Amino acid sequence: MNYTTRSHEKRLLHAFNSPMITGILGPRRTGKSTLIDHYISQHPEITAVRLNMDKMTEREQIKAGKLETMILTSIQRHLKPHHRVWVTIDEAQKCPEVFEQIKVLYDEYKDQDAIKFILTGSALLELHRLSAESLAGRINLYYLSAFNLSETLKLKYDTDIHSSMFDLIDSGNMNEDTWRDYFHDLLPWSALLKQSLMELQIWGGLPEVLVLNNDNDRLDYLANYLQTYLEKDVRAIESITDLTLYRHLMDIVAEQTGSIRDDSRILHALHCHRDTLNKYRNYLQATLMYQEIEAYINSTLKRLVKAPKGYLINNGLISFLQGIHDTELLIKTGQIGHRFENWFLNELQVWLNKNPGRHTLHFWRTTAGAEVDFVVKKPPHVYPFEITFADTIEPKKVRNLIRFCEYEPEAKLAFYVYMGDFKLDRENNIIFLPAWAVC
C-alpha cells in the first residue's frame, strides 16, 4: 500500500521539527505509525529508535528503568549535542513508567538538540493523564482521525484534490462566485468522489479496510480488529471485569449511533448498575472508539434537549457489529442517515484538528423538535450543519437552520449537506452542498 498524505500532515510535520515532545492520539490502525515511518524514510539523516509498548519484552525493560539503555544500545553510541536521535514509542499509555524516564531524558538534553520523543497512543484519557502528570509543559498532543473523503480518494485512486470546503470556510470568503467555482472545480472527480463517499458509509475510514477488494476480506479484517481491541486494550483495564457486557455495550452504541443518549433503554438492555454503565462507556470513550457530542447551549435559546448524542466512531465497525454492509439494505432499514451523520462527524474532526485554536463541536435540538445535526463553534464564528441522506431539500430542515441562525447572531452562514445538487439560498445565507463535494 503506497503512502497517502494526510489532510493535516503539515501541522504534524511542523510538530516533528519542534524540540518539544510530540504526542499523536488516534484509534488503532488509523496511520499514526505509518505517518512517522514515512517521514523517517524521507529523511535518511535521522537516527531513529522505534519502541512499541504493545510488546511485553519492551514494556518489561522500561519497567526496569532501562529506557536510556535501550536507546543507547539501539544507536550504538552516546547521545550527542546536535546529533538528534528520534525515539518513537507506540501505545505509550500502556507503560506508565515510561513517562518519568522520558521526562528525565528530555530535561537533560532539551537544550542540546540531542533527542526527540514522539509518542503515539490509542487511549485518550490515559495518555492525557499520564502526560499531564509527568510531562506538563513538555508535550504537545495532536489527533489523527480515520481517513476522510479526500484522503480516501488519494488512497484508492491516487487522485489529489487541493481545494477543500473547510479551507474555504476558514478563509472567510463568503462570495457566491467563489463557492460556485469550488463546486465546478470538483466536477471532473465527482464519480470517484461519489464512489468513495459510499464506501465510507459502509466500511469507515480505516485505510487497510479501504484497500481490500472484497466484502469478506473486509469483514475478516474488522473481526480481527475488534478482537485485538478487546484483547489488547480492554482486557488490560483491570476495572473492566465483564468483557461480554462491554461487547454488548458496543452493540448497543453501534445501534444508537447518532441518537440522543438514552440511559434508561441501555440499562434495561444490559441489566447492569448505572455506575457500571458509566464506567464502561467512559472506557469506550477513553479508548477512542466512541464519542459524545454535547448540546449547544446559548443563553438566548430556551427549552433545549441537554442529553448528549453518542457515536461509535467507525462505520466499518458498525457494519460488522450490526451485520449490515449493504447500501440498499441500510436505506431500506432507515439506518443510512446515522451512518451518513457518522461519516460527516469524521470530516468535521479532521477539519478541526487541522488547525490550532479553540473550537467546540455540538448539536442543537429543542424540546419542540427543531434540530440541527452539528454546530461548530470556532470563535468568533458559529457554523450550523444539517446532514441528510436525501437528494431533495426538506423544507423543515431548512427552517431549522434559519431558526438557529436567527437566535445565534454569530451564525452568518449555514450548510445543508445532502445527496442533491449544489444550490445557494442568498436570502438566508445557506449553502446546499452535495455530500461528495465535502472534501
Answer yes or no: do 235 and 200 share one domain: yes
pLDDT of 298 higher than 90? no
If you search the block for the grid coordinates 479551507, which residue do you land on?
A: 167
Same domain, 211 and 84: no
pLDDT at 291: 96
DSSP state of 376: E
Residue 144 predicted with pLDDT over 80: yes
pTM of the model: 0.94
In this prediction, residues 90-110 reach a mean pLDDT of 93
Point out the domain boundary residue: 123, 143, 163: 143
On whether residue 4 sits in a domain, the answer given is no
Confidence tier at 171 by pLDDT (50, 70, 90): confident
Q: Are residues 130 and 244 in the same domain?
A: no
Left, alpha or beta for 229 (phi > 0: left; psi -120 to 50: alpha)? alpha
Last residue of a domain, one of 143, 167, 183: 143
Contacts of 191 (CB under 8 A, 6+ apart): none
Same domain, 91 and 218: no
The mean pLDDT value for 347-352 works out to 96
pLDDT tops 90 at residue 175: no
| Average pLDDT of the chain, as a whole number | 93
The 10s digit of each residue's pLDDT in 352-373 is 998 878 899 999 998 888 999 9
Q: Which three cell numbers stand for residue 350?
A: 479532521
Domain-located, residue 3: no
| Same domain, yes or no: 114 and 177 | no
Q: What is the spatial distance between Cα 393 and Cα 420, in angstroms, rounded to a whole number?
A: 8
Task: Provide the domain limits for residue 230.
Answer: 150-437
| CATH code (residue 64) | 3.40.50.300
| Span 114-136, average pLDDT | 79
Beta bridge partners of 142: 24
112 and 158 in a single domain? The answer is no
Q: Which of 79, 108, 143 is the last residue of a domain?
A: 143
Specify the higher pLDDT residue, 168 or 299.
168
Exposure b/e, 276-294, CB count within 10 A at least 16 = b:
bbebbbebbbbbbbbbebe
pLDDT digits (tens, 9 = 90+) for 329-344: 999 999 999 999 999 9
Same domain, 122 and 259: no
Please say if the pLDDT value at position 309 is more than 90.
yes
219 and 245 together in one domain: yes
Same domain, 223 and 88: no
150 pLDDT more than 90: yes
Grid cell 460488522 in the structure block, residue = 320
**Domain total of the chain:** 2
Residues 96, 182, single domain; the answer is: no
